[in-house]
Amino acid sequence: MPSLSQQFAAIRNPASPPVKTATPVAVYILLWSAIFILAAVLCAASVNAVNQCREAVKSIGRDCAPSIIAAQQIKQDLAKLDANSADFLLAKNANLPIYQELQTQAETLKSEFSDSLVTAAQNITFGDSERVPITKLSSGIVRYCELVAGANQRQNNDATPLIANASSYLHSQLFTAAQDLDKANTTVLDRVYNLRSQSLHIQSILFLLVWCVLNVLLLGTAIYLWKVTKRILNLGILIALLLDAILAFQIFFATEGSAYGLKVITKDAFDSIHWLWSARATAVDAYGARARVLLFAHSNDQPAALRNLEDCQDKILQLPPGQITLSQLQNNPQPAEILAKNPQFKGFLADELRNITFTGEREAALAAVQTWSRYSEIDQQTAVLETNNRHADAVSLHLSKQPTGGLGAAASFDQALELVIGINQAVFDKTVAEGLNKLQGLEWIVVALCLGMIVTASAGIWPRIREYLG
DSSP of 328-363: GGTT--HHHHHHTTSTT-BSHHHHHHTT--STTHHH
274 in any annotated domain: yes
Q: pLDDT band at 199, cuts 50/70/90?
A: confident
8 Å CB contact between 324 and 199: no
112 in any annotated domain: yes
b (16+ CB within 10 A) / e for 421-441 = bebbbebbeebbeebbebbee
Residue that wins the pLDDT comparison between 142 and 39: 142
12 in any annotated domain: no
292 in any annotated domain: yes
Q: Which domain holds residue 194?
A: 23-469
144 in any annotated domain: yes
Q: Would the pTM count as exceeding 0.95?
A: no
Dihedral, CA of residue 338, residue 343, residue 349 and residue 355, to nearest 10: 70
Q: What is the pLDDT of residue 468?
A: 59
Find the range with the poorest average confidence among 60-74, 197-211, 382-396, 433-447. Answer: 197-211
Largest Cα–Cα distance of the chain, in whole Å?
Answer: 145
Q: What is the pLDDT of residue 32?
A: 76
371 in any annotated domain: yes
Residue 54 amino acid letter: R
8 in any annotated domain: no
**Could you report the per-residue pLDDT of 342-399, keeping only the tens digit for each?**
888 899 999 999 999 999 999 999 999 999 999 999 999 999 999 999 999 999 999 9
CA–CA distance, 256 with 262 (Å, rounded to integer): 10
- Percent of the chain past pLDDT 70, that is, above it, reads 91
CA geometry: angle 113, 116, 122, nearest 5 deg = 140
Total of domains in the chain? 1
211 in any annotated domain: yes
Instruction: Please name the residue ranges forming H helices in 21-127.
Output: 23-58, 65-93, 98-122
Instruction: Tell me how long the chain is.
Output: 470
